[in-house]
């Protein structure tokens, strides 16, 4: 968070420890929960772990805070949706994960997907 130096990182989730992160910088984090290992590493680095009650007292209007969130389309359900069709690319259902009971040769891989099997979209 180089451009957010000195600001409070706000996460509406549980902060967990990641052993792949070798060094933890000094930072102030506000979250719903902290695991014991994550809290210990943040405090050991000279940082602080805040609850939302403490954040409301320290920054009532949210000044000097940065709200962090994960990827919006990280859920598995988004793999089933195609992109919008444009004039350049009308293949909206290419590389889309089908809702099928099996993933074999006969299941949603023939008609509409290959020219040799009726038609190709």
Helix (H) or strand (E) holding 40: helix 36-44
Please state the domain extents for the chain.
2-68
- Residue pLDDT, tens place only, 11-60: 999 999 999 999 999 999 999 999 999 999 999 999 999 999 999 999 99
75 contacts: CB under 8 Å, gap ≥ 6 = none
- Residue pLDDT, tens place only, 74-103: 888 988 888 777 777 777 777 888 888 888
Q: How far apart are CA 89 and CA 44, in angstroms?
A: 53
- State the pLDDT at residue 72: 87
The third-level CATH classification (topology) of the domain covering 2-68 is Ribosomal Protein L15; Chain: K; domain 2 (3.100.10)
- Indicate the pTM of the whole model: 0.67
Tell me if 29 sits within 8 A of 15, measured CB to CB: yes
């Amino acid at each position: 968070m180089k451009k957010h130096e000195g600001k409070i990182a706000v996460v509406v989730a549980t902060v967990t420890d990641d052993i792949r992160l070798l060094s933890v910088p000094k930072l102030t984090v506000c979250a719903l929960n902290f695991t014991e290992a994550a809290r210990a590493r943040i405090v050991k680095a000279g940082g602080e772990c805040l609850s939302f009650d403490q954040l409301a007292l320290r920054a009532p209007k949210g000044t000097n805070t940065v709200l962090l969130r994960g990827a919006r389309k990280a859920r598995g359900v988004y793999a089933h949706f195609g992109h919008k069709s444009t004039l350049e690319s009308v293949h909206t259902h290419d590389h889309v994960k089908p809702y099928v009971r099996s993933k074999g040769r006969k299941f949603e891989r023939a008609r509409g997907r290959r020219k040799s099997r009726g038609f190709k979209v």
